[in-house]
Structure 1
Amino acid sequence: MGQKRNLTFPEAHLIRLIRERHPNGAKALYSMYSSSLYGVISRIVIDEAVSEDVLQDCFIRIWHNFHSYDENKGRLYTWMSNIARNLAIDQRRSKDFRNSHRHQKLSDFNEEFYEDEVCSLQVDIRFLRSYTQRLPDKERAIIDLIYYQGYTHAEVAEVLQIPLGTIKTRAVRAIKRLRIYYSTEVLAKAS
Structure 2
Amino acid sequence: MNAKYTYTEAALVSLLKSNDRSAFEYLYDNYSSALYGIIVKIVKDEERACDAMQDTFLKIWKNIGHYNSEKGTLFTWILNIARNTAIDKLRVELKKERVIQLELVRDGDLISSTIFNPLPATMDLRSIVERLLPERKVLIEMVYFQGYTHEEVSERLSLPLGTVKSRIRKALQELREIFEVCAPKPIFA
How high is the TM-score relative to the length of structure 1?
0.48
Which protein shows a greater Rg?
Answer: 2
Larger relative contact order, structure 1 or 2 (CA cutoff 8 Å, min sep 6): 1
For normalisation by structure 2, the TM-score amounts to 0.48
